Amino acid sequence: MAAFDPWDPAFVADPYPAYAELRARGRVHHYEPTGQWLVPHHADVSALLRDRRLGRTYLHRFTHEEFGRTPPPPEHEPFHTLNDHGMLDLEPPDHTRIRRLVAKAFTPRTVERLVPYVRGLAGELVSALAEAGGGDLLTDLAEPLPVAVIAEMLGIPEADRAALRPWSAEICGMYELNPSEETARRAVRASVEFSEYLRELIAARREKPGEDLISGLIAAHDAGDRLTEQEMVSTCVLLLNAGHEATVNATVNGWWALLRHPGQLAALRADHSLVPTAVEELLRYDTPLQLFERWVLEDIEIGGTVIPRGAELALLFGSANHDPAVFTDPGRLDLTRADNPHISFSAGIHYCIGAPLARIELAALMTALLERAPALALAAEPERRPNFVIRGLTGLPVSL
Ligand code: HEM
């Protein structure tokens, strides 16, 4: 029997059989090692993401003590201060206020204007890879594109961009299940450095505004005192991290899946008009963010089980995306799949604000690879990162 065990490399390599077991066994499962309730079905995950009796945080309604939780140790405070003031970890009304401001930069129309820049950059990166005869799809392509795009949007000077990936990686360590003390220590250090860096950049933009999103947020801030200084720092860090982390992994997970399915890759090479459905199918087939949590703010019932206030749900996105109740033959990679209500960008009020941008980036990278690297092949078997929640590879060596 395939067991749900986020610390077992065999499970991380292929969690989908264990998800099938969970779905067959019931709608909700208490999981001792994290104290969470696992939710594996698409219908439940989808409904719970929209359920206002749940929250990404409880701190807008209760103290840690009132909610029956232990406050984090004071030495972790820099991480929590940074994290808890970003819109992803806020609930209304604060979430609504911040999201409204940021959303202006991410409407499909605004993002559409970035298309020529994103396509141009994807083309240049793939050409460089082709000239070199191959390389690592992760470091040569999947990382530099989304990092450059989000850094450009926020107006991060080119010389400073190398620090973004390491800061982001260390902070993201905290989003895995039961992070270690060492992970917390690294995340705290990265939070302090990243925050300091952004405070200085915000001060510089305040002196001399530009066309970038940081200058836009400052203008909104100064006009109506709509964002506190901390919210501005936290929002920038969230945008910089969320703005590349999942796109990087979606690219390498997706291309590895293609390389393991030569028939599907050949069909895509023969017909580039499949790119839009291929992007969606790859986001479903090997879900880049496997799990998101929600706090239970009022008692709820799932499939006859009462989950009390104070409990935590672990919504299994990877499982929802492989639920046969919604997807015909979910284990099959089908780049022509038309009816594809995958949940990889979430749902409800925290639905990914960057989804239109992510789609443009993934499609631009795919098209550039199809056009400029038609002989792309695997040069060596890639390795999975050990992380479960943020699902990716340590590299993807390819020859062209
Ligand atoms: C393939 C790429 C991406 C995936 C799979 C993805 C996935 C997600 C998911 C699942 C959530 C919601 C989590 C929850 O409900 O708890 C989310 C939120 C968010 N994402 Fe993305 N994302 C991607 C790319 C991006 C990009 C390019 C940006 C650009 C800025 C971005 C910015 C955000 C932000 C700011 C939020 C918080 C929204 C809120 O709380 O209202 N993401 N993303």
Identify whether 378 is part of a domain.
yes
Question: Would you say residue 1 lies in a domain?
Answer: no
Alpha helices in the chain (DSSP H): 9-13, 16-25, 42-49, 77-84, 94-103, 108-112, 115-131, 137, 144-154, 164-172, 181-207, 213-224, 229-242, 245-259, 262-270, 275-285, 317-320, 355-372
d(CA 3, CA 163): 38
Mutation choice for ligand 1 from 352, 360, 365, CB with most ligand atoms inside 8 A? 352
Q: Per the domain annotation, does 284 fall within a domain?
A: yes
- Centre of ligand 1 to C-alpha 241, Å, is 9
User: Mean pLDDT over all residues of the chain?
Assistant: 95
Give the CB-side neighbour count of residue 200, counting CA atoms within 13 A: 8
- Under a CB-based contact definition with an 8 Å cutoff, are residues 303 and 27 in contact? yes
What is the span of the domain harbouring residue 386? Answer: 9-399
Q: Give the tens place of pLDDT for each residue, 187-238.
A: 999 999 999 999 999 999 999 999 899 998 888 766 655 788 999 999 999 9
358 lines ligand 1 (CB under 6 A): yes
Nearest residue by C-alpha to atom 3 in ligand 1: 246
Distance from Cα 25 to the centre of ligand 1, integer Å: 30
Of 382, 248, 332, 308, give the one whose Cα is nearest residue 58: 308
Pairing of strands 36-39, 312-316: parallel
Give the tens place of pLDDT for each residue, 277-293: 999 999 999 999 999 99
- DSSP assigned state of 140: I
Alpha-carbon distance of 299 to 254, in angstroms, equals 38
- 243 CB less than 6 Å from ligand 1? yes
Within a domain: 4? no
d(CA 388, CA 13): 9
The total domain count for the chain is 1
295 CB within 6 A, ligand 1: no
- Helices 181-207 and 164-172: angle between axes, nearest 10 degrees: 140
Residue 346 lies in a domain: yes
pTM (two decimals): 0.96
- Pocket flag, ligand 1, residue 288 (CB < 6 Å): yes
Query: Rounded distance, CA 328 to CA 337, Å?
Result: 9
Task: Tell me: cis bond preceding 93? Omega within 30 of 0 counts.
Answer: yes
- What pLDDT digit, counting tens, does each position of 356-389 carry? 999 999 999 999 999 999 999 999 999 999 999 9
Residues near 130 by beta carbon (within 8 Å), at least 6 away in sequence: 372, 373, 400
Domain presence at residue 151 = yes
Bridge partner residues of 306 (DSSP): 301
CATH number at residue 99: 1.10.630.10
Whether 247 lines ligand 1, by a CB cut-off of 6 Å, is yes
Residue 2 lies in a domain: no
Residue range 22-56, pLDDT digits in tens: 999 999 999 999 999 999 999 999 999 999 999 99
CB distance 282 to ligand 1 below 6 Å: no
- Is 354 near ligand 1, meaning CB less than 6 Å away? yes
Q: How far apart are CA 84 and CA 233, in angstroms?
A: 11
Domain assignment present for residue 188? The answer is yes
Give the distance (Å) from ligand 1 centre to CA of residue 171: 15
